[in-house]
Amino acid sequence: MEAFAALLDALVYTRSRNEKLRLIAEYLRATPDPDRGWAMAALTDGLDFKAVKSSTIRNLLKERVDPVLWTLSRDFVGDTAETASFLWPEPLGETGPPPTVSEAVDALSAMTRANVASELPQLLDRLDSAGRYALFKLATGGLRIGVSSRLAKVAFAQAFDVSVDAVEEYWHAFGPPYLELFAWAADGDDAPDTAHIPLFKPFMLAHPLEELHVDLADYAAEWKWDGIRVQLVHVAGETRLYSRSGDDISATFPELLGALQLPAVLDGELLVRGTAQGGETGGAASFNALQQRLGRKTVSKKMLTESPAFVRLYDVLSVDGEDLRGREWQHRRTQLEGLMPRLPDSHFDLSQLVEARDFDHLAEIREGTRDDAIEGLMLKRRDSLYVPGRKTGLWYKWKRDPLLVDCVLMYAQRGSGKRSSFYSDYTFGCWNGDPDAGADLLPVGKAYSGFTDAELKKLDKVVRQTTLNRFGPVREVERTLVFEVAFDSVHESKRHKSGLAMRFPRIHRVRWDKPVHEADRIEALRKLIRD
């Protein structure tokens, strides 16, 4: 447990991605089975102990520490697990040695709501403050240390010099502590046999199309839908749904699991029913509506009836036991079209191809897509095999031109990593009326990309020279600078005072020349809502 606790603390204080990878890889190499497997499960959010909740910890502490002192301390620290790790009274007399991670996991899994109050303290008494912190974080999940499950898998691949695609593919075949995975990667055993398991297959991804002209004889065009990319896998009677990052999201969209009853691996866009986005068998709702259903581990009946999910299919990776990833796109497309009658149209439709005379005609069609709340177009080489990751020249995403609006810089915050000495995160606003008649700026978004290093230096200087107020790492600046901000869409939001929130805002151009009173007004931005 000490090594795991040290790893968590090191990760808490590390901002650089490479350094995080190095720390995790080092831990995985130095730690024996099954501890390292449990640690990986914790890092990839794969652990859940029903008996231990944040309230369990709070109650345990309030039995041992004066409640007033507990509350004052908790308020100061802001994190229950951390506060409890500090305030847990050091045990009197002899205690056992610190538990290993797997010992702790075994003990936590065996705990029930009835005995957690007597069992958990026995573990805590054997740990120091850092160990108690790690145990609480392990027990309650949600480490919040800036490590995604993808990052942990990349670290695993780096630690043992294996391909991260293979790690992704095998990952879901095994539960923690992933002994088979470590046997293969760390000890050189044969690759695991996964034929009978509904495994995630790494996605084929697209490059942005930049100032490129493609020949439509070589490339097919499809709409790019504004949903989430998913993979639906059915093997040996079991169906699983995976997200773009390879996370198993079956529980979030249970209605899709029963809908696929034949052995296949399907690639498509998950959407919920609505009217905003047209398709073959009816419309889909905007991304906003889909967002209501994301990230939930359980779904209410109401949600299932009000916002049912379906998948708009655009590729098939295998069907009836035949792996199609080695076949050309054209072949896979024909297979997919042939497959459609075997799939219930309540839960599946086919992503339509966009027919155009030539590239210019396609560009014209693309121009008209904004009204349909479609993200743009996909261009797929007709002879492209299904290869994981992003290979140049095979698939392109050709997003419709972004929406643009002129905003005024209001606040700036220091960046992280290499940028930690620069004010590189910007909050900007639009006018809530006529600026010459005394209108105010209201924040509408935040961006930290879209400018060159030279521009960043210049922006940093402006921020420092025009600072009005400091709030910790944030500076409020005089309203002197206009940004032309690009964004994908804008929708209503209660979180912002302006009532609006942008998706994917980035700095398109710094308008050094533009006077601030000429920046856009809130109502101009509001007109761009397409919900």
Partner 1 sequence: MSAPFSWIKPHPHGVYVEPADCWIDPSRAVDKALVTHGHADHARGGHGATVATPATLAIMDLRYNIRENITPVEYGETVRLTGGVDATYIPAGHVLGSAQILLEHAGERVVITGDYKRRADPTCPPFEVTPCDIFITEATFGLPLFAHPPIEDEMAKLLDRLAAYPDRCVLVGAYALGKAQRVIAELRAVGHTQAIYLHGAMEKMCRLYEDFGVDLGELRMVMDHDKDDMRGHIVICPPSALNDRWSRRLPDPITAMASGWMRVRGRARQRNVELPLVISDHADWFELTRTIEEVNPHETWITHGREEALLRWHQLHQRRARALAMVGREDEDD
Expressed in angstroms, the distance from the first to the final Cα of the chain is 50
Q: Least distance to partner 1 from the beta carbon of 339, Å?
A: 50
Residue 16 or 281 having the CB closest to partner 1: 16
Cβ atoms within 10 Å, residue 360: 10
Q: What is the DSSP string of 484-504?
A: EEEESEEEE-SSSTTSEEEES
Residue 219 or 451 having the CB closest to partner 1: 451
> Contact positions toward partner 1, by CB under 8 A?
9, 12-15, 65-66, 68-69, 72-73, 76-79, 82-83, 86-87, 414, 416, 420-421, 460, 464, 472-473
Residue 149 or 416 having the CB closest to partner 1: 416
Residue 8 or 41 having the CB closest to partner 1: 8
**CA angle, 520 as apex, 517 and 521 as ends, to 5°?**
100
- Give me 505's structure tokens: 């805002």
Residue 137 or 240 having the CB closest to partner 1: 137
Q: Least distance to partner 1 from the beta carbon of 72, Å?
A: 5
Q: Least distance to partner 1 from the beta carbon of 474, Å?
A: 11
Contact call for residues 280 and 317 (beta carbons, < 8 A): no
Residue 20 or 240 having the CB closest to partner 1: 20
Q: Least distance to partner 1 from the beta carbon of 35, Å?
A: 23
Residue 178 or 423 having the CB closest to partner 1: 423
Q: Least distance to partner 1 from the beta carbon of 76, Å?
A: 6
Q: Least distance to partner 1 from the beta carbon of 87, Å?
A: 6
Contact call for residues 7 and 39 (beta carbons, < 8 A): yes
Class of residue 487 by CB neighbours under 10 A (exposed 0-12, middle 13-18, buried 19+) = buried
Among residues 215, 255, 482, which one has the least CA distance to residue 356? 215
Q: Least distance to partner 1 from the beta carbon of 45, Å?
A: 20
Q: Least distance to partner 1 from the beta carbon of 73, Å?
A: 5
What pairs with residue 316 in β-bridges?
A: 266
Residue 26 or 484 having the CB closest to partner 1: 26
Q: Least distance to partner 1 from the beta carbon of 71, Å?
A: 10
Long-range CB contacts for residues 245-249, cutoff 8 Å, separation at least 24: 245/148, 245/149, 245/150, 246/149, 246/150, 246/153, 246/168, 246/171, 246/172, 246/200, 246/202, 247/149, 248/172, 248/200
Q: What proportions of the chain, in percent to the nearest 5, are helix, strand and coil?
A: 35, 25, 40
Those residues with Cβ within 8 angstroms of residue 35's Cβ, 6 or more apart along the chain or in another chain: 3, 4, 100, 101, 102, 177
Among residues 392, 375, 431, 412, which one has the least CA distance to residue 209? 392
Residue 66 or 434 having the CB closest to partner 1: 66
Q: Least distance to partner 1 from the beta carbon of 460, Å?
A: 8
Instruction: Return the SS3 of 344.
Output: coil
Alpha carbon 61 to its chain's center: 34
What pairs with residue 313 in β-bridges?
A: 268, 350
Residue 423 or 487 having the CB closest to partner 1: 423
Those residues with Cβ within 8 angstroms of residue 159's Cβ, 6 or more apart along the chain or in another chain: 24, 25, 26, 28, 29, 185, 186
